[in-house]
Amino acid sequence: MYARDNAAGASDGQQPPSGAQVDAAVTALRMLADPTRLRLLWELRDGEHDVTTLTAAVGAARPAVSQHLGKLLLAGLVSTRRDGRRVLYRARGGHVRRLVLEALYAADHHLTGAPEHD
């Protein structure tokens, strides 16, 4: 259910994370620190979408959406597949989807004053 439960090679809480793990995590968190990229990943959390659909959903210009998707792709947070002439984007796995959801849930708790929980 949680990342540590089913990820091969992930830290079990006993060992500190490796430098490579920290670097990859920092890159992912930097990508989430942009409002447009966070909105894109929110849209991709439960399915595939093309650039046109994502542009309409996040209300950004098509070139900006394409650039953000390129950054997310390089960071390993999204993957693509071709469908004829279209390129479809999707969040890359459950870890990415849960990371996005948890970040937004934490923000909601902060904004609403909802009690914290584990």
Residue 117: per-residue pLDDT: 84
CA dist 62 and 87 (Å) reads: 14
Cα–Cα distances in angstroms (integers) from residue 95 to residues 16, 100, 104, in the given order: 19, 9, 14
Token pair recorded at residue 47:
């399915």
Q: What is the pTM of this model?
A: 0.83
Q: What is the pLDDT of residue 5?
A: 47
**Contact yes or no for 91/37 (Cβ under 8 A):** no
Q: Contact 91/100 with Cβ under 8 angstroms?
A: yes
pLDDT tens-digit map of 15-70? 999 999 999 999 999 999 999 999 999 999 989 999 999 999 999 999 999 999 99
